[in-house]
Every structure is written in structure tokens, then in C-alpha cells.
């Protein structure tokens, strides 16, 4: 395909659409490079004992297979960032870990316990996996506090959700000041903080975060990465994130994967991946 025929795609990292190859071109090049990641490499990056371990996962929607034999491992208290072209299956990996996809093969274990066949509610309540939606998911006509309490709908007793909400307010003064305001009037950054906080009500071990920086002004992007970094460093949360802003996402990730056409094409420590010239050329427009 000549340059003039290259379809316009959204940019990765700070690359512009002029410098980034088309999705198909990236997939072709990645395939030509023969990129394949061994299960050993995946395990080695996760450290001694992986908290979330995916082996040979083949999954999709209905009968459509999107992920092919994906291996993934992340250690307790680590962050893993998935990058790759649009449609590569990044969100589908998060969906699979939370139980939103049809699984055709392979296994997903959390803390050594298999959850491959569990429902999303079971994964949240029993395995401590929380999913933070990519889309704007606050209820605009409900107050900040009511939105937070929604995060505790699976708790056996509403008082537990109230206590958890108080802990959130103690931690994030920004939200405490807005607790009775309708969520619809919050700024983009505050709304993202509310979405993250709502997931914290269940005190999950694993946070699945899809594109935390999407649609945010730069100052809020830094705030969101700081909040996630703090949840990892201070609270030992394990974070699996998809990030379109590959430079920001990989720079602070313990582990980074490049996903291409439903397969893990590269895996390394986040900053090392950023410095890999193939990653730069194919995914960062540089
Ligand atoms: N709910 C769904 N039902 C059917 N197909 C879906 C569904 N969600 C995603 N897909 C398809 O699965 C493939 C992978 O999509 P996915 O959303 O995982 O990609 P992605 O890497 O997250 O892309 P993006 O960067 O655009 O968010 C795409 O071909 C998409 O059309
Ligand atoms: Mg996605």
C-alpha cells in the first residue's frame, strides 16, 4: 500500500497520524518480524509468583475469535500496560479477565485459583477483580456519593459500602468536596477519579483499567497516572491497563506488552519496551 493510500488512523503516543503506519501495515510488519513471546518470558517478567496468570487464552465474542493463544502474567503489586493498534484486542483481554467474553480455550487464574468459567460478579466479589470502564460511566444525575455507593452493590451490607465510601473521601479531598454534587457537573479528571474510586469500594486486588487517559486534558492525565501509581505503590494493587498514550503508559509500567492482531507480539519491562526501536517505529511513530 502506498503512502497516499494509507488510511487515516488515530495517533499513538505523541506520534501524529502522518508518522504512524496503518493498522494493517503494523500487523504485517509485526508478522514479518516473526515476533513471538515465549511463556517463559511472560512468567519471568511477572516475578516469583504471578497474581494473574493467563495461559493459551483463545477468546472472542459469539463465535468470532479475537484473541489467539494469549499468555499473560502479572505479579502482585505490579502494573502491566497493554499497547497496540486499534482493534488488536487490548480491551478484549481486559474483558476476558473480567468475564465479558466467550472463552474457547486456555485458562485464567487469579492467585492460583481458576476463574475461567466464573461470572463477572463472582470475579469481582470472590477473586477481587475490578473493571474500570473505558467509556464515561458515571451516572450524571446521581450525586458523587451515590455513584460511589453503586460500587458496593455486591456487598452483603450497605453499611460496608458507606464505610468504604468514607475511606475514599478521606483519601481524595477533591471528591469529598463534591460529595453531594451531581456527578454530571464534575470535570473530566474528577469524573475519572470517581470511576476509579467506585471500583475501590470492593477493595479489589486487581484493577483492570481501559484507557484511563482518553479524552482528558494533559494536567488530568498526569493526575490519573499519579493516582494509579499511588494505588500500586501504597496499597499494593495490581494494575492491568490499556493505554493509547503508549509513552506515558509504558514509562511507568513494570511490564509492557505489545498486542498485534490478537497475539502478544512483544513483552518486556515497560521502559525497555519504549526504548525498543521496533516498538518506536511501529507503534510510536518514531
Ligand atoms: N462486544 C463486542 N462484540 C463483537 N465484537 C467485538 C466486541 N468488542 C470488540 N469486538 C471486536 O473485537 C476486535 C478487538 O477489539 P478490541 O476492542 O479488543 O480492540 P482494542 O485493541 O481495544 O482497540 P482500540 O484501541 O480501538 O480500543 C475488534 O475487531 C472489535 O470489532
Ligand atoms: Mg480498546
Is a pLDDT exceeding 90 seen at residue 250?
A: yes
Across 93-102, 205-214, 259-268, 275-284, least confident range: 275-284
Mean pLDDT value of segment 9-24: 54
Is a pLDDT exceeding 50 seen at residue 194?
A: yes
Side-chain half-sphere CA neighbours of 45 within 13 A: 28
Atom of ligand 1 nearest to the CA of 92: 18
DSSP code per residue over 92-146: HHHHHHHT-SEEEEEEEEETTEE-TT--HHHHHHTT-EEEE-SS--S-TTSBHHH
Task: State if residue 86 touches ligand 1 by the CB under 6 angstroms criterion.
Answer: yes
9 — pLDDT class (breaks 50, 70, 90): very low
Task: State if residue 90 touches ligand 1 by the CB under 6 angstroms criterion.
Answer: yes
Task: State if residue 92 touches ligand 1 by the CB under 6 angstroms criterion.
Answer: yes
pTM exceeds cut of 0.85: yes
Q: Say what the pLDDT of residue 5 is.
A: 46
Summarised one tens digit per residue, pLDDT across range 143-163 is 999 999 999 989 989 899 999
Going along 151-262, which residue ranges are E strands?
206-210, 238-242, 255-260
Q: Say what the pLDDT of residue 224 is.
A: 93
The CB-based long-range contact list for 67-71 (8 Å cut-off, 24+ gap) reads 67/92, 67/93, 67/96, 67/101, 67/262, 67/263, 68/261, 68/262, 68/263, 69/105, 69/106, 69/263, 70/106, 70/262, 70/263, 70/264, 71/37, 71/39, 71/42, 71/264
Across 31-35, 119-123, 168-172, 231-235, least confident range: 31-35
Is a pLDDT exceeding 90 seen at residue 230?
A: yes
Q: Say what the pLDDT of residue 15 is.
A: 46
Q: Say what the pLDDT of residue 24 is.
A: 75
- Residue 243 φ/ψ, nearest 5 degrees: -140, 125
If one counts every other C-beta atom within 10 angstroms of the C-beta of residue 227, the result is 18
Question: Dihedral of CA 189/234/52/112: which sign?
Answer: negative
> How far does the centroid of ligand 1 lie from the alpha carbon of residue 61, in Å?
9
Q: Say what the pLDDT of residue 239 is.
A: 98
Instruction: List the helix and strand counts (H, then E) for the chain.
Output: 12, 10
* Residue 266 and residue 37 in contact, taking contact as beta carbons nearer than 8 Å: yes
Task: State if residue 93 touches ligand 1 by the CB under 6 angstroms criterion.
Answer: no
- Residue the block writes with cell 487517559: 213
Task: State if residue 10 touches ligand 1 by the CB under 6 angstroms criterion.
Answer: no
> How far does the centroid of ligand 1 lie from the alpha carbon of residue 179, in Å?
35
Q: What is the share, in percent, of the chain residues with pLDDT greater than 90?
A: 72
Mean pLDDT value of segment 255-273: 94
Q: Say what the pLDDT of residue 133 is.
A: 74
**Grid coordinates belonging to 114:** 481458576
Mean pLDDT value of segment 26-49: 78
3 — pLDDT class (breaks 50, 70, 90): very low
Q: Say what the pLDDT of residue 34 is.
A: 60
Q: Say what the pLDDT of residue 279 is.
A: 83
Is a pLDDT exceeding 60 seen at residue 17?
A: no
Q: Say what the pLDDT of residue 8 is.
A: 45
Is a pLDDT exceeding 90 seen at residue 32?
A: no
Mean pLDDT value of segment 201-219: 93
Mean pLDDT value of segment 247-264: 94
Task: State if residue 262 touches ligand 1 by the CB under 6 angstroms criterion.
Answer: no
Q: Which residue has the CA at smallest separation from atom 17 of ligand 1?
A: 91
Superfamily for domain range 8-283: P-loop containing nucleotide triphosphate hydrolases (3.40.50.300)
- Domains of the chain, by residue range, sit at 8-283
63 — pLDDT class (breaks 50, 70, 90): very high
| Alpha-carbon span 117 to 232, nearest angstrom | 27
DSSP 90: H
Question: Dihedral of CA 265/238/98/194: which sign?
Answer: negative
Q: Say what the pLDDT of residue 60 is.
A: 97
Amino acid at each position: 500500500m502506498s503512502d497516499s493510500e494509507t488510511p487515516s488512523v488515530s495517533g499513538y503516543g505523541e506520534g501524529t497520524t502522518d508518522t504512524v503506519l496503518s493498522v494493517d501495515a503494523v500487523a504485517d510488519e509485526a508478522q514479518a518480524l516473526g515476533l513471538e513471546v515465549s511463556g517463559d518470558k511472560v512468567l519471568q517478567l511477572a516475578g516469583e509468583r504471578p497474581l494473574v496468570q493467563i495461559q493459551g487464552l483463545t477468546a472472542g465474542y459469539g463465535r468470532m475469535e479475537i484473541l489467539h493463544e494469549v499468555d499473560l502474567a502479572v505479579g502482585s503489586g505490579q502494573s502491566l500496560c497493554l499497547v497496540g493498534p486499534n482493534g488488536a484486542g487490548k480491551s478484549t483481554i481486559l474483558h476476558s479477565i473480567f468475564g465479558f467474553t466467550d472463552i474457547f480455550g486456555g485458562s485464567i487464574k487469579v492467585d492460583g485459583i481458576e476463574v475461567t468459567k466464573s461470572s463477572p460478579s463472582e470475579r469481582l466479589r470472590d477473586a477481587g477483580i475490578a473493571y474500570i470502564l473505558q467509556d464515561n460511566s458515571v451516572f450524571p444525575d446521581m450525586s458523587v456519593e451515590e455513584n460511589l455507593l453503586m460500587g458496593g452493590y455486591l456487598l452483603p451490607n450497605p453499611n460496608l459500602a458507606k464505610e468504604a465510601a468514607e475511606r475514599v473521601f478521606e483519601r481524595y479531598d477533591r471528591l469529598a468536596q463534591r460529595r453531594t454534587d451531581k456527578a454530571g457537573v464534575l470535570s473530566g479528571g474528577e469524573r475519572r477519579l470517581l470511576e476509579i474510586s467506585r471500583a475501590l469500594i470492593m477493595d479489589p486486588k486487581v484493577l483492570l483499567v481501559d484507557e484511563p487517559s482518553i479524552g482528558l486534558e494533559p494536567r488530568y492525565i498526569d493526575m490519573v497516572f499519579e493516582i494509579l501509581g499511588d494505588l500500586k505503590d501504597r496499597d499494593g494493587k495490581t494494575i492491568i491497563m490499556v493505554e493509547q498514550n503508549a509513552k506515558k503508559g509504558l514509562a511507568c509500567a513494570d511490564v509492557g506488552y505489545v498486542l498485534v492482531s490478537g497475539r502478544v507480539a512483544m513483552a518486556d519491562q515497560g521502559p525497555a519496551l519504549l526504548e525498543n526501536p521496533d516498538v518506536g517505529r511501529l507503534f510510536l511513530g518514531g
